[in-house]
Each structure stands twice: as structure tokens, then as C-alpha cells.
């Protein structure tokens, strides 16, 4: 089929460059992209959290506030990049243009296998590209590999922190309401243990830009059976708080 997503263009220069939207913004080299909007907002409003606002980008779907925790070589920028590949990669690109070199994304995902109970941590090793954004950053293909060196360092950090985890493939999709039983079964057969909406996109863009990228995900709701189980994953405040702290600690070892 003659699909636009198959029309790979390796031209590095674009008409609209990330630097245009990053003007006036300077970030530390380490960044955490947190999909826990509630946790980031709570930390930012708490003077005791150590979060200091260092910038804002006004986007079509609202402002993206950027925070910093720590100083010097321990400084880490933290922000919510928005949901989905296009939105999150836009913020990733802006962060890279503003100085980011080492990025860890952290979020929740749907479990595809019974053994992943709510809160179990997964480090993605590769992502099935069932979305569109990654195809603008890497040639067409079924999988987007993640940096094995970064994934290994994240695993070492979690092990040293006594956090049980596994390294495994995940399924990245744009279509939240098209995760049919047949598709879930096929993805599970291919080795995917979680489904989410950004990993392939972010990893492809990071590879294109030559920066380090890794991700931490926790198993939230479950699609392991034909009846969706919400499992109260959005109310798992302790899991989300802990995983954000782990992401901040992990990006500091990269």
C-alpha cells in the first residue's frame, strides 16, 4: 500500500524547528517527562518539595510548566509533556533544543498479562509501533528498539533501590478505544506486556536527535481479559509519587 507513513525522509532540517519554540528556555541536561500530571502539579504547589518553576511553554491544549529539582550536576527538569505521541514528542523536542541530553519518561500503562498486578514496574526494551509519530523519526518498521545501555542502567538503579521490575516489550498505540480482544491477544503473543501511548514515539525521536532516553512504566488498569479492569490505577497516589522519585533518581545515574 502507498501510505504516507512509508515515505521516510531523512532530511534533518525542517521548516519549523524545535529551536523556534525553545527560545528563551534553558534546561539542565537531565529531564524527567512525567505523565503523572497530578503528582507534578502537587509537587509544584508544595514549597517543601524542592520544585522550582524554571519555565513555561504555552501550547494549544494549555501551558506546560517546567520545574527543576536539585542544583548543579544533580539538577533535573520535570514536566508533564501531555498525552500521546504527537504532544509528548513536541515537548521532548523543545526540551532537547533547550539543552536536554538525558531523558527518562515515567507513566502508567495497561497490563496485557495476568501476572502484572497493579503497581508492578516495567522498563520497556522495545515498543511495537502502532502509532504515527515514530514513522517521522525512523524508517518504517514494526518495532522501535530502546537504548539497551540506558535500559540496563535503569534496571541497575531499580535493583539497587530494592524495586522489583522486569524488562519487556510494550505496545504503543494511538487508539485507546481500539484495543480489541484480537489485537490484545496478538500483541501478547508478540511479547508485549503493557499497552501505552508514547514509548515508540519518544524513543524514535530521541534516537533521531542523538540523546539518551529510557522509560519507567507501572502496570495500572488491566486488559488481560475481555472485561476491562480499571483497578483504581489513577488513584494509586503512592505508586505514582514513588515512581516519579525513582525516575528523578534514575536519570541522575545516566
Beta bridge partners of 64: 57
- pLDDT of 234 over the 70 cut: no
**Cross-strand partners of 66:** 55, 79
The pLDDT-based confidence of 229 (bands split at 50, 70, 90) is: confident
Buried b (16+ CB within 10 A) or exposed e, 133-167: bbbbbbeeeeebbbbeebbebbbebbeeeeeebeb
Q: Are strands 121-130 and 143-145 parallel, antiparallel or unpaired?
A: antiparallel
**Residue 147 is assigned to a structural domain of this protein:** yes
With cut-offs at 50, 70 and 90, classify the pLDDT of residue 230.
confident
pTM, two decimals, is 0.96
Half-sphere exposure of 77 (CA within 13 A, CB side): 28
Is the pLDDT reported for residue 172 higher than 80? yes
In a domain, 230, yes or no: yes
| CATH number of the domain residue 244 falls in | 3.40.50.1580
Query: What pLDDT sits at residue 231?
Result: 79
pLDDT of residue 53 exceeding 90, the answer is yes
Q: Which structural domain, as residue segments, surrounds residue 177?
A: 23-251
pLDDT for res 235: 64
Distance, in Å, from the CA atom of 69 to the CA atom of 27, rounded to the nearest integer, reads 11
How far apart are the C-alpha atoms of 166 and 154, rounded to whole Å? 11
CA–CA separation, 244 and 48 (whole Å): 16
Q: What is the pLDDT of residues 66-85, one digit of tens each?
A: 999 999 999 999 999 999 99
The average pLDDT across 126-133 equals 98
How big is the chain by its Cα radius of gyration, in Å? 17
Does residue 11 lie within any of the structural domains?
A: no
Structurally, how many domains does the chain consist of? 1
- The predicted pLDDT at position 212 comes to 98
User: Per the domain annotation, does 158 fall within a domain?
Assistant: yes
C-alpha cell at 131: 502509532
> Does residue 125 have a pLDDT over 70?
yes
With respect to residue 163, please indicate whether it lies within any of the assigned structural domains: yes
Tell me if 70 sits within 8 A of 40, measured CB to CB: no
| Residue 33: inside a domain | yes
% the chain with pLDDT above 70: 99
Residue 127: predicted pLDDT: 98
Please tell me the distance from the alpha carbon of residue 109 to that of residue 92, in angstroms, as a whole number.
19
Per-residue pLDDT band for 233 (boundaries 50, 70, 90) equals low
What average pLDDT is seen over the chain? 95
Give dist(CA 97, CA 94) in Å, integer. 5
pLDDT band at 131 (very low <50, low <70, confident <90, very high): very high
Name the DSSP letter for residue 229.
B
Give domain status of residue 7, yes or no. Answer: no
Q: What single DSSP character describes residue 45?
A: T
- Give domain status of residue 124, yes or no: yes
Amino acid at each position: 500500500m502507498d501510505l504516507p507513513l512509508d515515505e521516510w525522509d531523512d532530511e534533518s532540517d525542517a521548516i519549523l524547528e524545535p529551536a523556534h519554540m525553545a527560545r528563551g528556555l534553558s534546561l539542565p541536561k537531565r529531564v524527567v517527562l512525567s505523565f503523572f500530571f497530578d503528582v507534578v502539579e502537587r509537587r509544584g504547589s508544595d514549597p517543601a518539595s524542592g520544585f522550582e518553576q524554571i519555565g513555561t511553554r504555552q501550547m494549544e491544549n494549555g501551558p506546560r510548566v517546567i520545574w527543576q529539582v536539585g542544583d548543579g550536576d544533580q539538577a533535573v527538569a520535570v514536566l508533564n509533556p501531555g498525552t500521546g505521541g504527537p504532544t509528548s514528542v513536541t515537548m521532548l523536542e523543545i526540551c532537547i533544543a533547550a539543552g536536554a541530553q538525558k531523558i527518562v519518561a515515567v507513566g502508567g500503562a495497561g497490563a496485557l498479562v495476568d501476572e502484572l498486578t497493579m503497581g508492578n514496574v516495567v522498563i520497556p526494551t522495545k515498543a511495537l509501533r502502532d502509532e504515527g509519530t515514530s514513522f517521522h523519526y525512523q524508517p518504517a518498521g514494526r518495532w522501535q528498539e530502546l537504548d539497551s545501555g540506558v535500559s540496563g542502567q535503569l534496571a541497575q538503579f531499580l535493583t539497587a533501590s530494592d524495586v522489583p521490575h522486569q524488562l519487556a516489550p510494550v505496545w504503543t498505540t494511538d487508539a485507546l478505544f481500539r484495543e480489541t480482544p484480537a489485537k490484545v491477544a496478538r500483541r501478547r503473543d508478540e511479547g508485549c506486556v503493557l499497552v501505552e501511548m508514547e514509548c515508540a514515539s519518544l524513543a524514535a525521536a530521541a534516537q533521531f536527535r542523538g540523546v539518551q532516553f529510557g522509560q519507567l512504566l507501572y502496570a495500572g488498569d488491566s486488559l488481560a481479559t475481555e472485561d476491562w479492569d480499571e483497578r483504581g490505577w489513577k488513584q494509586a497516589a503512592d505508586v505514582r509519587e514513588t515512581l516519579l522519585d525513582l525516575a528523578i533518581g534514575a536519570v541522575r545515574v545516566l
